Amino acid sequence: MSTQLTTDEELRLHLNNSQLTQSTPGSTADILQAVNQQLIAPSSNAVRKNLLAVIVERLETESDAAEQQVLREALSMLMNAGSE
């Protein structure tokens, strides 16, 4: 049995420990603002992972298709920025 966490498990762990989750109401507008701030002035890797975790969690719980699309685009932008 492997003790290494999968990316999804890592994101969930970061979400559980995230200060961003505690201080952000979690609206799509708040998430987009945080993504834009991250793209303009990248913070630590932990902040980026926390933001990714928040987006993933919202995607799992959001029922509105338009909101889901916006969240997917934000996730894509953040992941692409991290790979550069």
51 lies in which domain range?
Answer: 7-82
Within-domain flag for 31:
yes
Is 18 inside any structural domain? Answer: yes
One digit per residue, pLDDT tens: the chain, 84 residues?
445 556 666 666 666 655 554 544 468 888 888 888 888 887 778 888 888 888 988 898 889 999 999 999 999 998 888 665
The verdict on residue 2 lying in a domain is no
In a domain, 1, yes or no: no
**Residue 38 identity:** Q
Q: What is the DSSP string of 26-40?
A: --HHHHHHHHHHHHH
Question: Angle of helix 45-61 relative to helix 28-40, nearest 10 degrees?
Answer: 150
How many domains in the chain?
A: 1
The alpha carbon of residue 60 and the mean position of all alpha carbons in its chain are separated, in whole angstroms, by 12
pTM for the full predicted model? 0.63
